[in-house]
Amino acid sequence: MLNKKNILTLFILLTINLNIFASLGLDVGLNYNSSEVDSDGNTVDSEYPFSLVALPSFSANKFSIELNTPIYFKVNDGAVEFDYSNYLLPEEQDEFLDSAYVYSKFFLSFINYAQWASFNEDFAIRIGKITNSTIGDGALLYHFEDENVGEFETRAGLQFKFDANMVNLPFGFELIATDMFDPDLFGARVFFEPIFFLGNDFLNKLTLGYTVTYNTEYADSSSEYWLNIAYDLQLPLFKTVDNSMILYYDLISEAEIDDSTDNLVRELSQRVGVYGWYFTDLTYDAHIQNIIDDDASEYTFGNSNWDLVSKTLLPQFKKDFVISANTGYYSNNGMSEFTLGSEIEFDNLKLDNYDLTLEFISTKAIGPISDISASVTKSYYIDSSTDELTEDFITGLTSTKNLEVDLSANIIFYQVNAITVSISIEGDESGNIDPTYSFGYKLSLL
């Protein structure tokens, strides 16, 4: 029969083994959102603006998962009213595939993320929020984060990588979708080793890749304006799961705004650089980029992205002027990020097309402050009937100039708790504004 001493010893051994081979976590959050998006895509006032969220997590070996279990409520005349409708199973559909669709959406709505392996490895998959995700060397998507999903919200995104080198085949592919059911951004890359048959262990790792990204948020199905394409040539100097250094050359075709017509046109650029990762989580990139254009040149330097953009007519101020700087620490698993940057853009020095961004982001591992940013952005939209650029937000039929202001702050106190604040204001020249705001408090219990 076990005595108290033996039971205590077994408990200690179990705890040690759990810490070595697996880990558990639990965050709880209190969140407030003044608005929500209805089934038609319209922003409306939240019926139950408060939510109490439990975020249990588990990781073992290469697998990690975090769940999201919110309880929504409101305070009405001093009484608290709860809404549990999000836990009710959807109605079964007539067709099997339709039922599979609605049930999949239902169960995935409770998963923040589920991931197998690091994307430095030959095979990895992630379901849930897309954060700090890169395709290839980052020609089109570099540490992309889906900003259309909030801190306490879930989304059924998908990131997948398969490098057939793991089974001695010279090809592979990667893909990213912000939502498996209704993506507003999709990216994919296929790659192969064209001279894999050489006996040289260095040159036969030369890789040719083709990447495409499509942003459905800005274009309808008949438009290719936001269909961006990149060809890449990569040569690893060394490459393991923990450390790598890879030389690359990119030829990129992206959608850009024509300064003279305000229409979207395609812009061709090329860049050469080196990227990789150290100690699994620390990623870096340094490159020089050049726009292939007779009257413009752009060069980019940095470990994440240092920009100095100038146009040949800059002394006469007849072209856009852009100056920006950004450097950062990024984590492959999306758990940590540090950037310091700024960006200023003028159009003929009249602030007609302006973009002002100041940003500072830290992490639990680096310091007590995390994610303080401010931005002022004038946004353009696509008129789907003409595939032309317009400045109107709702119909695309008028020339009302819309102003968007987004302010956000996320302060983390010594890995214990976090406060998040987000304010978004949309307005036009007539002085009409539509503010939305949210705040949250998150406490780490484990």
Boundaries of every domain in the chain: 23-444
Q: Could you give the CA distance from residue 271 to residue 300 in angstroms, rounded to a whole number?
A: 9
Question: Two tokens at 193?
Answer: 């080793």
pLDDT band at residue 205, thresholds of 50, 70 and 90? very high
- What does the pLDDT look like over 244-293, one tens digit per residue? 999 999 999 887 666 666 666 777 888 888 888 877 666 777 777 777 75
Average of per-residue pLDDT values in the chain: 69
Nearest alpha carbon to residue 127 among 204, 199, 172, 67: 67
Q: What is the pLDDT of residue 209?
A: 97
Do 252 and 136 meet the contact criterion of CB atoms below 8 Å apart? Answer: no
pLDDT at 124: 94
- Whether pLDDT at 72 is above 80: yes
Q: For residue 294, which amino acid is it?
A: D
User: Does the pLDDT of residue 47 top 70, yes or no?
Assistant: yes
Q: Which of 33, 9, 14, 34 is nearest to 24 (CA)?
A: 14
298: phi > 0 → left, psi -120 to 50 → alpha, else beta; which? beta
Q: Which residue is it, tokens 């975020």?
A: 55
Neighbours of 159 (CB within 10 A): 26
φ, ψ of residue 253 to 5 degrees: the values are -120, 115
> Can you tell me the distance from the alpha carbon of 274 to that of 250, in angstroms, rounded to the nearest whole number?
11
In the prediction, which pLDDT does 323 show?
Answer: 40
- The structure's pTM equals 0.68
Report the distance separating Cα 322 and Cα 287, nearest Å.
Answer: 18
Percent of the chain surpassing pLDDT 90: 24
Distance of alpha carbon 78 from the chain centroid = 39
Other CB atoms closer than 10 Å to residue 308's CB: what's the count? 12
Q: Using CA atoms, how far apart are residues 86 and 147, in angstroms rounded to an integer?
A: 23
Give the bridge partners for 28, in sequence order.
54, 443
Look at residue 175 and tell me whether its pLDDT is greater than 90.
yes
Q: How many residues does the chain have?
A: 446
Angle at 163 between CA 162 and CA 167, to 5 degrees: 110
In 3D space, the residue among 292, 300, 353 whose CA is nearest the CA of residue 327 turns out to be 300
Residue type, 50: F
Whether residue 147 is predicted with pLDDT greater than 70 in this model: the reply is yes
What is the tens place of the pLDDT at every residue in 340-394?
A: 444 444 433 333 333 333 333 333 333 333 444 444 444 444 444 444 444 433 3
Using DSSP's 3-state secondary structure scheme, residue 282 falls into strand
The torsion angles phi and psi of 167, rounded to 5 degrees, stand at -120, 25
Residue among 72, 61, 65 nearest 29 (CA): 72
Residue 395 has pLDDT above 90, yes or no: no
Residue 430 contacts by C-beta under 8 Å, 6 or more apart in sequence? 400
Q: CA nearest 341: which of 358, 366, 323?
A: 358
